[in-house]
Chains A and B, each alone.
Chain A
Amino acid sequence: MSQDAAAAPRVSASPERAGRSRTPLQLAWRRLRRYRLAVVGGVTLVCLYAAMVLAPFLAPYALDYSDRSLFYAPPVGVHLIDARGRLHLRPFVYAYRVVDASLPAYAPDTSRTYDIRFFVHGAPYRLLWLVPSDIHLLGVDSPARLFLLGTDQFGRDLLSRLLYGSAVSLLIGILVVLITFPIGMILGGIAGYYGGIIDNVIMRSVEVLAAFPSFYLLLTLASVLPPTLSSGARLFMISAVFSFVGWGGLARVLRGIVLGIRDVEFVLAARAAGLPDLRVIVRHVLPTTASYVIVAATLTIPGVILGESGLSFLGLGVQEPSTSWGLLLAQAQSIEALTQFPWLLIPGLLIVIAVLAFNFLGDGVRDALDPRQRVA
């Protein structure tokens, strides 16, 4: 059945604005906004992606900056009232004092306060690879350090690295969807539309692919990547690896959907009108699968984020000094890190948040696009 046919009874079902009819997309948007969790998920994602774009500006320190005397430093305390009980108008921090370098143990040096200042000059960077700048949102004067989420084993600021690392974790899902979905849709569409030998060949190759344990296939492919790749190229290659593993399932489902609608009237009409096959597939058949594809995409992205985390956790994903949330989480593997330096688990929290946000949004989108669902 076509979407127009499904949308028709809905227009009459919303009598409060009888004068204006709405497109199915508008209706879906309206329904989506009523799913509180989906909205929360969406807003969260907008924030995460905005932070990703502005990472060099938001991060107090550069990606590879390290203070070697302050490794495993806990998050710095932000205060308004100093040691003598005076209220400050600006939030401030104390410098770290090394109590015992071998534990390591640090205490704030309360003899002097360092105001947190805004729009300070720091390490130079290029925003979006274009705008050169050295302004950072937050900063403090040396020797104090603004390690808001603490530091890692090498004395690097966790917050800054989380912000820089978000680029890999958040982009890889989208990249994979951009590569996988066109391939999966076209191949699935062709297989379902033509059937016969073509269908057989494509589906059998999908099965061959599915017969490999996918995570081990990923490991194998990732391990043959040359180590000298730049971090951008590496990100793209890893996405290609994920796409190589991931297109099969999508192609299979789409083939099933297409098989079900290739003999429906509007498709037959398009063919009768003499349109070339590819045009029929792309313009008339595939659009009917849109609701499935959008949902599948929002649910694929978190899977890829987790997959990349797994690869990086095992040392096969991105490489130092670039980072990703998975690689950052890999530092929290040992019992010591868990018990003594719990702030190293924050990357895991962010992965959970991003994955949940995508899932909530995906659920909401699926319900919103489902013509059989009705919002009360």
Chain B
Amino acid sequence: MRGSALIALVTLVAAAFGLPGVGAATAPHPSLPGLPDPKVMTGQPGRYGGVFLDSQQSDPSTFNPILANSTSSTGPLANVFDGLVEANGKTTDIEPGLAESWTVSKDGRTWTFTLRQGLQWADGAPVTADDVLFTFQVVYDKRIPNSAADVLKVAGQPIEVTKVNARTVQFHTAEPFGPFLREIGNASLIPQHVLRKAYDAGQFNQTWGVNTPPSQIVGTGPYKITEYRPAQRIVYDRNPHYWKVDMRGQRLPYIDHIVLTIVPNQNALRLLFQGGQADSYGVRPAEYAEFARGARAGNYTVYDGGPSFGSEFLTFNQNTASGMPGYKLRWFQAQKFRQAVSYAIDRQAIINQVYAGHAVPEYGPESPADKFFFDPHTMQYPYNLQKAAAVLAEAGFKKGTDGVLRDADGHAVQFVITTNADNPDRVAIGNIIRQDLTALGMQVTFAPEAFNTLVAKLTDSFKWEALVLGLTGGIEPADGQNVWKSSGSLHMWYPRQAKPATPWEAEIDRYFDLAATTVDQNRRRDYYNQWQEIVAEQVPLIYTAIPHAYVAVRNKFGNIEFTAFGGPFWNFPVIYIK
């Protein structure tokens, strides 16, 4: 296998050496025997060999990428399977994957993908259009429970997949579908020649369980599983048929083996890393200080990937079915009230005390980590108690001589903020907010509760007044439509509305629908910018701060390009051991 890489030591341009950032398009295209058009990954030329020590919490429940639905199962398969396209971990753009190119028809409903020539499964069988057809037949099969089927439905309809020739497939959607490329990339291709028989026998759900001999699990990714010991480890070997090369045209990946150790909890992960038995560890902001201090002694680097995607926010209940007295509902429905609260939150204190200073204030619904869709021009609410008091006064609220804030009808402003007690960050944020709002004369009780109690209130009884909660986000705003559309089940402040309760919620609905059925990404961005500006002005969710993503990585790797989106190992095939 090393031989083929050596043959490829071609007359590779000297310019490529000096300019590792230059894309593959400008350099003459390297090729491998049988694989004329491999994908070129940028990076310094590396060394082959070595072992990567990975770790994770809890065992996988399946090795079948279609059935896997929890991170403990999808994580171990990330390096074994690929999609037609993939997101660049640095730019977050969609790039060719197994498909070398694609076109979209004028009406935005037909997508044509061409597979790379000479692609092989890890067992050497060719990858063809039939594998793509088979994969989507399985995904849309009602007997097979999988999460991909939901996101890959357009206007409730499955996407039609047809074969044009051995390397070309066509996708046809019922309506133009904006997030098409990103969602199609999430579907892992599975081999028809291995799984067809079981599928036809109706036994697909039993295939590739965790007790399958690893040699039968065949993907297109950079590694293949060679050993699995439950509750101990998963061992991977390099896939000799992988379809990416480095800038010299040598076949990737560089690292020979991965050993993934399985441990029962977060503390064990941490100890594993500190004991040198794992090469990376996801450092929580509260642990940052300790890890930063120990970086030299432990021979690791703590990467700060900038803002992450998750964020915590405060929200007020605007649901008419909440059983709150009418005057309270009117406070929470008043834009000025929510804006005043936003001005009164000392985000810098949250950043310092909760995230050890490594976070950025957040005012809108999209994280700055989303380089493409983030709109930097939304309204902002820097900490200003005078301004907050002035905005409250505009809305008729007055602070009495006893220091108590009252609305125009004389009701004292009094409410309960809750959150889930098992999340120390949220409890701390709630405490800071409570103290801030007390300064405005509001009488705020902060009462954290058990997570399940909170969820029941959020989804069933609606008997809550204010909440501190968090959502994990991603690149594609369309994934957040259950939060943002007024009919959404996670539209927390007033879920599952029959029709939008306010004009601004109707506007958001409209922009979400437009963006979902538009294929031109720049126009989609304009729609989502509108959405971000409306949310920032109306503040249904009062955002606090976005913490930075940290990962500690042992100082033994070359070509690490850490980003919040992709983490330290998004370009794993070109990472090598120094």
Contacts and interface: CB of A to CB of B under 8 A. Distances in A.
A302 to B, nearest CB: 25
A223 interface: yes
Contact of A223 (B414, B432, B445, B449): B449
Contacts of A104: 289, 352, 356
B86 interface: no
Interface in B442-473: 445-450, 453
Interface string B275-286: 000000000001
A315 B448 contact: yes
B353 A155 contact: yes
B435 A101 contact: no
Given A227-B447, A315-B448, A154 B356 contact: no
B424 A333 contact: yes
Interface residues of B, number: 36
A153 B349 CA distance: 10
Given A336-B286, A336-B290, A340-B290, A315 B352 contact: no
A335 B265 CA distance: 14
B286 A334 contact: yes
B357 interface: yes
Given A227-B418, A340-B289, A102 B356 contact: yes
A68 B357 contact: no
Nearest to B420: A315
A321 interface: yes
A314 B453 CA distance: 14
Contacts of A315: 421, 427, 448-449
B446 A339 contact: no
Contacts of B421: 314-316
B416 interface: yes
Contacts of B446: 319-320
| Interface majority SS (helix, strand, loop, mixed), chain B | helix
B346 A227 contact: no
Contact of B346 (A68, A101, A103, A335): A68
A321 B352 contact: no
B432 A154 contact: yes
B224 interface: no
Interface in B237-286: 267, 270, 286
A103 B356 contact: yes
Contacts of B450: 223
A329 to B, nearest CB: 14
B395 to A, nearest CB: 23
Contacts of A288: none
A104 to B, nearest CB: 7
Interface string A88-102: 000000000000011
A68 B351 CA distance: 11
A340 B292 CA distance: 13
A319 B431 CA distance: 10
Most chain A CB within 10 A, of B289, B292, B449, B450, is at B289
A66 interface: yes
Given A227-B445, A314-B421, A333-B424, A68 B293 contact: no
Most chain A CB within 10 A, of B286, B447, B449, B450, is at B447
A61 interface: no
Nearest to B357: A102
B287 interface: yes
B358 interface: yes
Contacts of A102: 288-289, 352, 356-358
Contacts of B414: 228
Interface in A22-72: 64, 66, 68-69, 71
A153 B435 CA distance: 13
A103 B267 CA distance: 20
B383 to A, nearest CB: 11
B428 A103 contact: no
Contacts of B289: 102-104, 336, 340
B216 to A, nearest CB: 42
B434 interface: yes
A64 B438 CA distance: 10
Given A154-B428, A223-B453, A333-B424, A71 B352 contact: yes
Most chain B CB within 10 A, of A64, A68, A334, is at A68
Contacts of B356: 102-104
Closest 9 CB pairs of A and B: A315-B421, A227-B447, A102-B357, A103-B289, A68-B349, A315-B448, A71-B353, A227-B416, A102-B356
Interface of A: 64, 66, 68-69, 71, 101-104, 153-155, 223, 227-228, 314-316, 319-321, 333-336, 339-340
16 contacts: A64-B438, A71-B352, A71-B353, A101-B357, A103-B293, A103-B356, A153-B354, A154-B349, A223-B453, A228-B445, A314-B421, A316-B421, A320-B431, A333-B424, A336-B289, A340-B289
Given A68-B353, A154-B435, A319-B445, 5 more contacts: A227-B418, A314-B421, A315-B421, A335-B287, A336-B289
